[in-house]
Amino acid sequence: MPRREAFKQRVMIETAASLPVLIPTVLGVTAGGGILVLIGGGIWATRMMSPQSDIHEKTWKKMAEEEERKEQARLDALSEHLEQDGDHRTESALSDMRQLIHSLKTSELSANVVQSEGIVDKAERLFEASVDMLEKTLGVNATISGLSRGSSARARLEEQREHMVTEVLTNVDRLSSIVAKMQTLGATGDFDSAEGLRAELESDLEIV
């Protein structure tokens, strides 16, 4: 999600660059027309004060799409590194979590049933925590590779890494359970039980 300050700055730039603002301002400057400059400034100020303007909506969408592309590129790069760690579980876990979080974020049920309760936000935090842990396993691997086989230091780090991977796999199961419950609700159409679903989902994510 775009940061508030970055969004405000981007809106200012996009607004200033829009034709209804740009044309009077440019004409005013080139022709020495102070009135046209003021008109352009007035249009800019009006648009800036209108939170529901097209520019606000388009800017937010554009920034969200840019952030999503960067995030997917980061995850693609992480996946490539995990392919080389000699443990198929890490790569599979990342792939499964990406699919699960995508299903959760794009589901109509996310908006209609649980979005207002912050369930999707909590699931995303669980996903991010798991991604961070997978990234850390790569650092642990690098350290392990430089230690003597059979040494106590290597054994401790191997145990630490195994604990991290196990926790990630547990989080995959939790995300899978959340998505399955939402899909079950969608299949049955029993929206009267939405409150019960919220309670179950909150329980699944209570430590996030």
Q: What is the 3-state secondary structure (H, E, C) of the chain?
A: CCCHHHHHHHHHHHHHHCHHHHHHHHHHHHHCCHHHHHHHHHHHHHHHCCCCCHHHHHHHHHHHHHHHHHHHHHHHHHHHHHHCCCCHHHHHHHHHHHHHHHHHHHCHHHHHHHHHHCHHHHHHHHHHHHHHHHHHHHHHHHHHHCCCCCCHHHHHHHHHHHHHHHHHHHHHHHHHHHHHHHHHHHHHCCHHHHHHHHHHHHHHCCCC
Lowest mean pLDDT among 28-32, 61-65, 72-76, 153-157: 28-32
The predicted pLDDT at position 198 comes to: 64
The highest-confidence range among 10-14, 64-68, 182-186, by mean pLDDT, is: 64-68
Mean local confidence (pLDDT), 28-32: 44
Buried b (16+ CB within 10 A) or exposed e, 48-71: beeeebebbeebeeebeeeeeeee
Contacts by 36-39, CB closer than 8 A, 24 or more apart: none
Lowest mean pLDDT among 97-101, 121-125, 171-175, 185-189: 185-189
**Neighbouring C-beta atoms of residue 121, cutoff 10 Å:** 13
Average pLDDT of the segment spanning 6-26: 49
pTM: 0.70
Extract the tokens encoding 54: 């097209």
Whether the CA torsion 119, 113, 94, 76 is positive or negative: it is negative
Assess whether pLDDT exceeds 90 at residue 157: yes
- pLDDT value at position 178? 83
Average pLDDT in the chain: 75
pLDDT attached to residue 17: 47
Is residue 41 pLDDT above 50, yes or no? Answer: no
pLDDT-derived band of residue 111, with 50, 70 and 90 as boundaries?
low
